[in-house]
Structure 1
C-alpha cells in the first residue's frame, strides 16, 4: 500500500476505486454496503449479517468516501454510514493466484519433510498450531513418537477432530488380509491416488499411523497435486483445460455399501485457482462421451498420470513404527511400492478427519495465540 492510497467514486457512486502503488481495485457499492463491518450490519458476537442483503436497492450508491488515516469512511444513499479499514478492503480483493493462497509447492527435491512431535502437539497449543500451519502450507506433515497402540493417534485427533466414521469404521487397519474388500488391503503396489473420491464429502485429511513396518518394500510415495496440475497447465494448457472440464464418476461397492461421486481430476475454485485434485484409477468411470471428446480426455489424463508418477515430482519415504503421516486429501496424491511379507509384518492404521474442523482449529488457535502475544507485549 502506498502512504496515501487514492479514492474516487464513479458510475454515479455505484463504484468505489482504491488505487495503491501496485494496482487499482474497484468495489461495488452494494458489496460495500452488505459487507459493512459495523454493529448495525453485522452482529458483533457472531459476525453474521443482520440486514437482509437481497432487499437493498439495486441502485444504492456511495454518496461520499473520506480517507481517515488507515480507514475510509463511507456514506451510502440509504443513509447508512460505516468505516472500513484499508487493509481489510485490500485483503478482500480478488487475487490472480494460480492455486488457493497460503500454499508452498514442492517436488522430489524437497530436502526435509515438514515434521511435528506427537507429545508436543498434544500438550502445547503453539506446537499444535505449528503442525496445522505446516499441514495447511505444505499439504502433509510427518509426526514422530506416536504411541504404537492400535488407536495411538486418537488423542491427537481429539485435539482437532472429530474422527470421520465411514463404512470401514473409525480408525481402520491397513494391512494385507485374505479376501480383501479394497486393494489397499493387499500387497500390491498402489499408484498415486487420492482417497475416496466416491464419498460426499470427500475426506479432507488422511491420518496414516505406522505400528510396524518390517516387510520388504512398502515405501510410501507422495506427490504435490497442485505442483503437478500447474506443471500440466504450463506444458499442455489444452490438457489442463480438459481435466478441469470433464468430470468422471467414481464408484465403490461391497456387500453393504454403494457409493458414487463425481468431479474433475483438477478442480478450480470460483476464481479459477487450482483448489482440489482427484485421481483414483481403481474407482474412476468415464461416461460414454462423444469419441473425440474422450480422445482428448484420455490423452490429458495420460499426461497428468505421467507427471504424478514421474521421478521429478515423487517423494519417497518409509514410515517407521511410531511415525504418522497426515495428508491433505484435496491436494496430495499418495501411493506405495509393492511389498513382501517374508521380511516381516507391515501394519498401519488409518483414519480421516474432515476439512472444516481442521481449518477451524487452526484459525481459532491462530487467533487465540495472537491475542495472547498482544497481551504479553502490552503488559
Structure 2
C-alpha cells in the first residue's frame, strides 16, 4: 500500500494501528492493471503494487533477497575477492557481496593498512560491535597471552566467541604487517560440513543439533558463558549457525546413547573441519582484509615463527543486518553506501 495517510513516506511505518480496524474487515472489490485498487468494507480504498503482492505471497522471487548460500569444499571453493578500489562503485560492491553471501566469506585486497584503518573499512558494511576485546582487537604474539590467537601456535578451524549470546555475526581480520614464516590463514565452509555429516551419519548429525553444549570464556576480568547445540537450524531445516571451538566447549549431561552419538559426531565434525579437503588456505599480505560469516565459516591458521619477522592483524565484529541492509539498498537503489539512520 502506498497511500500517504497509511504509510509514512520516509520510513514506511504504518500511520494507523491494525487493532483499531474493524474485526469484520473484508475486501469488497479489486480493480486496475498496473496497480490494484482495493476497496474495503469500512469504506477505505488503497492502491497496491501487483509485483509486491506476488512477492509477499511467495509466487515471485524477492529481488532484494540475499543470494542463496552454496556449499563448497577445496575442490569447488573459489575465493570471492575484489580490489579496494572496485568496491567504491555499486557494481563492484554488489559482486563482492554476492560472493560473500553465497560462499560465507570474501577478501578485499589493496586496502589502507595503518593501525585503526579497519574502523572505517568495517563501517562500509555495518556498525562495529564492541566486546571485551575492544572495538578493534590486535592479533600478534604477546608475552602474556589472554587467548591462543596471541601466540604463534597453529589454530584449528573454529568459530569466534561461541560463548556469547548472541554470537558475533561477521568477523573482519585486517593485515597490517606480515613478514613471518608460516601463519597461513585457513577457511572452511560449515555448511558443507553439516551437509556431509547429515548425509553419511544422520544419527550423529541429529545429536549435534539436539544436545546443548556449554561454552565459557573465563579470565580474571571477564566471564562469558552460553549454551547451545553445535549446529542450529531453522524450522525449514536451513542452517542458522555453527559453533565450534574445541578448547572452549563443555558437554552437558545426557543419556549415554545420545552422548555416544554426540561425541562421534563432534569428532567427525572437527576432523573434517581440519581436513585439507574442506579447507582453502592463503597467506595474509599487508592490506588484505578477510570478511567472514562467523555463524557459517570456520577459520584457523598454520603455526608461525614469531622470531622470523612481524605479523600484526587487527580484527572486529559487525552484525549480519549491516551487509543485508547494504545488499537490499543496492538492489533497490543501486547505491553503494550503507544508511546510518538510528533505529
TM-score, reference length from structure 1? 0.76
Residues 29 and 39 of structure 2 are in contact (CA less than 8 Å); yes or no, is this contact kept in structure 1? Answer: yes
TM-score, reference length from structure 2? 0.83
CA displacement at 1:366 relative to structure 2: 3.1
Instruction: Tell me, in whole angstroms, the C-alpha distance in 1 between the residues paired with 2:38 and 2:120.
Output: 49
Instruction: State the Cα deviation string for residues 36-56 of structure 1 (Å, max 9, x = none).
Output: 676665444322344544576
Question: For residue 253 of structure 1, what is the aligned residue in structure 2?
Answer: 218
Q: Which of 180, 189, 200 matches 2:145?
A: 180
Instruction: Tell me, in whole angstroms, the C-alpha distance in 1 between the residues paired with 2:285 and 2:3.
Output: 53
Question: For residue 269 of structure 2, what is the aligned residue in structure 1?
Answer: 304
Q: Which of 95, 116, 135 matches 1:151?
A: 116
CA displacement at 1:70 relative to structure 2: 7.1
CA displacement at 1:363 relative to structure 2: 2.1
Residue correspondence of structure 1 range 1-379 to structure 2 within 5 A: 42-53=7-18, 69=33, 84-93=48-57, 102-110=68-76, 112-121=78-87, 123-369=88-334
Instruction: Tell me, in whole angstroms, the C-alpha distance in 1 between the residues paired with 2:330 and 2:106.
Output: 18
Return closer, same or farther for 1:75/1:311 CA change in 2, 3 Å cut-off: farther
Secondary structure, in 3 states, of the residue corresponding to 1:161? Answer: coil
Residues 147 and 322 of structure 1 are in contact (CA less than 8 Å); yes or no, is this contact kept in structure 2? Answer: yes
Q: Which sections of structure 2, spanning at least 5 residues, go unmatched? A: 60-65, 337-343
CA displacement at 1:357 relative to structure 2: 2.5
Return closer, same or farther for 1:273/1:80 CA change in 2, 3 Å cut-off: farther
Q: Which sections of structure 1, spanning at least 5 residues, go unmatched? A: 1-35, 372-379
Residues 222 and 335 of structure 1 are in contact (CA less than 8 Å); yes or no, is this contact kept in structure 2? Answer: yes
Instruction: State the Cα deviation string for residues 2-25 of structure 1 (Å, max 9, x = none).
Output: xxxxxxxxxxxxxxxxxxxxxxxx
Q: CA RMSD in A?
A: 2.9
Secondary structure, in 3 states, of the residue corresponding to 2:117? Answer: coil
The answer to which structure, 1 or 2, has the higher relative contact order (CA under 8 A, 6+ apart) is 2
User: How many pairs were matched up?
Assistant: 330
The more displaced of 101-110 and 214-223 is 101-110
Secondary structure, in 3 states, of the residue corresponding to 1:47? Answer: coil
CA displacement at 1:344 relative to structure 2: 2.1
Instruction: Tell me, in whole angstroms, the C-alpha distance in 1 between the residues paired with 2:157 and 2:122.
Output: 25
Instruction: State the Cα deviation string for residues 129-163 of structure 1 (Å, max 9, x = none).
Output: 43333322321111111223122323322333332
Residues 135 and 141 of structure 1 are in contact (CA less than 8 Å); yes or no, is this contact kept in structure 2? Answer: yes
Instruction: State the Cα deviation string for residues 285-315 of structure 1 (Å, max 9, x = none).
Output: 2212232222222122223223322232211
Instruction: Tell me, in whole angstroms, the C-alpha distance in 2 between the residues paired with 1:81 and 1:227.
Output: 50
